[in-house]
Each structure stands twice: as structure tokens, then as C-alpha cells.
Structure 1
């Protein structure tokens, strides 16, 4: 009886973290697919700013809704980092928690321009403000910062948990996805295939998040 409460608490915490991992991955993927369908995102960002604003106006309600969903999915990475942080007491995991929270913050900051600021710029035709925000909030903060911090969080978690947590496949999947995600920082430099590698990285990373959640659901107790 003396261990029932701690064991129950561990199982509840694992299930909560698992739900956040799977929920974040699914929401991010669905929102990204929705934006691709109604807004041709992210390819649309390669067009002149005036054309992007016009495309935004054409499907504003749907685009804002999907970007809001993307914001929520990115925000879930903060409680994910906190929940995952309880799985290990190693130094790498202590670093991983603030890094994961910061990864969520920079991505939310970059994405919020779409539902909060872009509608006004699109209505007024303020191309210059839109261009500046895409550079600062988009490329520098949300994307570059997001790529680096997401990859770093993943690497720190893998170091902290090791192969004993779920096996070598878990470490390899997470490591490969993180390596491909971080290549996104080369996209603004025009490096060939960097965008494709980054996209593939996020697909694999979302699979890793789901696998992470499933492992937690089937595990008993804690390391």
C-alpha cells in the first residue's frame, strides 16, 4: 500500500505526457496539412509579399483557423518539455526542460503574426510591414530559432534517456529527425534540398513524438 500512490502518480504523469506528445504531433501535422491545402503553405512564402497577402485574403478565415491550430500545437511543446523532464534526473534533461519551453515560445511568437497581425496588413496592403515581420518574426525567430531549439531539445532528451528507454530505434529516429530539422537554418541561404530535408525531418520528428507517447503508455513505473 505504501507504493500504490507513487506508482499511480507515475502512471498518471506518464499518460498525461503521452497524451501531450501524441496530441501535439497530430495537431501540428493536421494544421500543416490544412495550411498546405488552403494556402499552399509554406511554398506560398516564396512568392512576392503582395501575392502572399492576396492569397491570404482569398481564404482568410480558413488560414487564420489553421494557423491558430498550429500555434496551439507549438505551444503544447512547453508542457511536453516539462512532462518529459520528469523522466530523468540527468543533467542533460535538466537542460532539456528550459530548451524545450524556449523552443515552444519562439515558434509561438513567430506564428502568432498570422492570426494577429497579417489580417490588418492584408486589408491595408501594407507589404513592407509584412515583409519585415516575415524576416524577423518568421525567418529569424520562429524558423531559425525554432529549428535550432527543437533539434537541441530532442538531442538532450535522447542523451538523458539513452537507448535503455525504448531501444536503439528510438534514439536513431530521434537523432535523424533532429539532424534533418536543424538543416532548416540553411533554407534562407538558398542551399539546395535544405527545405526538403527540413520537411522530412519534421515528418520523422512527429513520428518520433507519437512513438514517444506510445512507449510511455505501455511502460510501467519510471526509470
Structure 2
């Protein structure tokens, strides 16, 4: 009878717990890596400096900066499994499936954009920092850095990342609202006023990142606030799932105890 009791409890707990861990860890990893990059590399403000100075700064502390960009990319990659598991809370149908596709795409473009730093930039930074390199070689490295920053950074990682992240946020909230779900935590922590407000507030603020390359005043700050609100929403959602998982396990255990009596 003990094994019979554990089976439904485990079945109930596993999807909630795994989804919650992904939500919380994803938010913590991304924000930790971002904060540490700000300290070690003055990121993202460093991108406003001349390209040659950016590359020299990178080369001066390349091991730590490379590791932090890898950590940031790993955190961004977690959006893919987050999209898969949160969609399962919304049930089946075209809207949850669409949210999965958009969430996975959002993770992919951000990872591609971020991985240019640990994979492609070190060689360019080494060329610029090499006292024996010719002026032509340094100029070529700087030009290639500009190209990578524009294509992989601003277009793929940032522009598509902002658009797809905002789209996924709207899609998953709508999918959960319309979904025939048996999980009351979805309504308390995802569709409640505070949580839904965070999600909906973050969307337009995240999209202001599209205006940063155009030099729009305050766009970078608004984008930063948007991602803070979005990260907080992920944590609130994850904590709610953990709490709900524990409550359901206790309820199942109580029912099993009552049936044995």
C-alpha cells in the first residue's frame, strides 16, 4: 500500500517540481551572470565603447568573462525546457503548441547571440591585444567584431530575442487562461493580479530594447526594468508551483491515510 500511495504523489509532484526548478533556476542564473558581467566587464555599457577598447578589455580578463558569457547562455537556454513544461500546464491545443515553438525559438536566438562572445570574440581580442599584430590585422579584427555584433548581437540575439520572449510571455499566459487545467496554482500565481501584472508589464518594456540601437532616450533602462519584472514573474510562478506541489502531495497522503483507516 505504501508503494501505491507514493506513485500518485510522485506523479503529481514531478511535473510541478521540475517546472518550478526550471523557472527559478533560469531566472537566477541569467540575472547572476548578467550582474557579474556588469562588474567584470561593464556589460552591457561596454558595448558603447570603441570596438578596439571592448576587445582589449575582453582580452585582459578573457577567462572570467568567457565563463560568465557561457553561464549567461546556459541560463538563456533554459527558456526552451521552460516553454515545454509550462505549456503542459495549459493542456493540449494549438495555443500551447505555438507557445512551445516560440519559447524554444526565443531561447535559440539568444543563445546564438551570446555564444559569439566565448566562441568568436577571443581570437579577435587576441589579435587586437597582440603587440606584434599589424595595423591591417587589428583593423580587420575590429571590423569583424562590428559585423558579429550587428548580425549575431543586435539582430539575432537582441531584436529577435526581445520579440520572441515578449511573444512567448503573452502566448503562455493566454494559453494558461484558456487551458482546461486542473492546477489551481496557475490561476493564483500566473493569472492573479500581481503575477499577471508583472507579465503584462514586462512585455512592452522588453520590446523597448528594439529602440536601443536607434538611440531612443531611456530605452535601455526600460528594457532592463522589463527583464527584471519578467524574471520576478518567473520566480513567483516557480514558487507557486512548488507550494502547490507540496499541498497536493499532502492532500494525497491524507486521502491515503484516511482510506487505510
Alignment deviations for residues 28-47 of structure 1 (CA, whole Å, 9 cap, x no partner): 01100010001000000011
- Report whether the alignment pairs 1:124 with 2:127: yes
The residue number in structure 2 matching 1:108 is 111
Q: Which residue of 2 is the match for residue 152 of structure 1?
A: 167
2:204 is aligned, of 155, 179, 183, to: 179
Is residue 187 of structure 2 the alignment partner of residue 164 of structure 1?
A: yes
Q: TM-score, normalised by structure 1?
A: 0.94
Structure 1 stretch displaced more, 152-161 or 104-113: 152-161
C-alpha distance in 1 between matches for 2:5 and 2:209 = 46
2-structure distance, mates of 1:141, 1:54 = 24
For 2:89, what is the secondary structure of its paired residue?
Answer: coil
Q: 2:60 aligns with which of 58, 61, 64?
A: 58
Cα displacement (A) at 1:5: 4.0
CA contact (8 A) 2:78 2:107 kept: yes
Whose Rg is larger? 2
Matches within 5 A, 1:2-13: 5=7, 8-13=10-15
TM-score, length basis structure 2: 0.81
Mapped to 2, the partners of 1:142 and 1:105 lie a distance apart of 9
Q: Which runs of 5+ in 1 are unaligned?
A: none
Determine if contact 2:87/2:175 at 8 Å carries over to the other structure.
Answer: no
Deviation sequence 1:96-140 (CA, Å, 0-9, x none): 111000000000000000000000011112101111000000000
The one of 125, 137, 153 aligned to 2:152: 137
Task: Provide the rounded CA distance (Å) in 1 between the counterparts of 2:5 and 2:156.
Answer: 46
Is 1:95 the counterpart of 2:120 in the alignment? no
Alignment match, 1:217: 242
User: Equivalent residues in 2 for 1:78-89 (5 A)?
Assistant: 78-89=80-91
Secondary structure, counterpart of 2:126 in structure 1: helix
Stretches of structure 2 that go unaligned for 5 or more consecutive residues are 129-140, 178-185, 249-261
May I ask how many residue pairs the two structures share in their alignment? 221
Conserved 8 A contact 2:166-2:203 = yes
Task: Tell me how far 1:91 sits from its aligned partner.
Answer: 3.5
